[in-house]
Amino acid sequence: MLARTLTCVGLVCAFAGTAHADADSILTVGVGTGVGYLHAAQPGETGETTFVNQGNIRLKMFSILGLDYSLDLGKGVQSAGDGELQYGAKMRLTAIAYVVPTSKVSFYLGGGVGGANAGELFQLTGAGNSYHVGAGLEVYLSGHVSVDTSFYMVIPGVDSVSNHVEQQLALSAAAAGTSGATASPEPSVGDYVSPKNYELMIRVFLFL
């Protein structure tokens, strides 16, 4: 997998010619690293904050489009436990649209899929899937170096949401059958889609 990735990077560089970090290049690829944190909470629980250390490969095309692959260098391959929501991801694939591209700074919107392995980046219902959507700002320090910061709302994957709903309904049914017990409220969209669950990152990119 690594060999194929490096080969693709080499081919892009060969076709791109002189690459630039800013919006002046038609096609360019950059490698980067960053730090940040993931804040997420299971419904009804206090949020937890997890440190994130990323490695990135970012492809920029036609000044306004981008594709970012990120790898969490600090995590093993993880999936949420039974009844838990999947927020974290070993790797993420993000489609980017530079809605305000300039030669000094660019504002972008992004969204994509997270997974516990590469295969889950190309599906939506895997055990390790999560989704993210948000925005970022890229500041160009030179023709080849940029500083990037992003805020993504993180949404748990369909598989973990389905498991969580089933568990909550089972608990409610069990409570309803117990004398004097109060049934748990039924899950709502707000339990799963909330800006309180997010990943905040800052990165440095070197465009080859």
- Identify the pLDDT of residue 18: 46
Q: Is the per-residue pLDDT at 100 higher than 60?
A: yes
Q: Supply the DSSP string of 102-113, one letter for each residue.
A: -SSEEEEEEEEE
Nearest of 148, 150, 149, 139 to residue 23 by alpha carbon: 139
Residues 6+ apart with CB under 8 A from 173: none
Question: Does residue 186 sit within a domain?
Answer: no
pLDDT band at residue 129 under the 50/70/90 scheme: very high
The domain containing residue 136 runs over which residues? 23-179+194-207
pLDDT band at residue 118 under the 50/70/90 scheme: very high
pLDDT band at residue 122 under the 50/70/90 scheme: very high
Question: Does residue 5 sit within a domain?
Answer: no
**Mean pLDDT, the chain, as a whole number?**
82
Question: Does residue 1 sit within a domain?
Answer: no
CATH number at residue 113: 2.40.160.20
Percent of the chain with pLDDT over 70: 76
Average pLDDT over residues 140-156: 94
Residue-wise pLDDT tens digits, 10-42: 443 443 344 466 656 788 999 999 999 999 988
Specify the number of domains making up the chain: 1
- Measured CA to CA, the distance from residue 88 to residue 40 in angstroms comes to 9
- Identify the pLDDT of residue 5: 42
Average pLDDT over residues 92-99: 97
pLDDT band at residue 162 under the 50/70/90 scheme: confident
Question: Does residue 72 sit within a domain?
Answer: yes
Question: Does residue 96 sit within a domain?
Answer: yes
Question: Does residue 13 sit within a domain?
Answer: no
Find which of 47-61, 81-95, 176-190 is predicted with most confidence, using mean pLDDT.
Answer: 47-61
CA 23, 27, 30: angle at the middle one, nearest 5? 80
When comparing pLDDT for 82 and 99, which is higher?
Answer: 99
Question: Does residue 8 sit within a domain?
Answer: no
Average pLDDT over residues 109-123: 94
**Chain centroid, CA 184 distance in Å:** 31
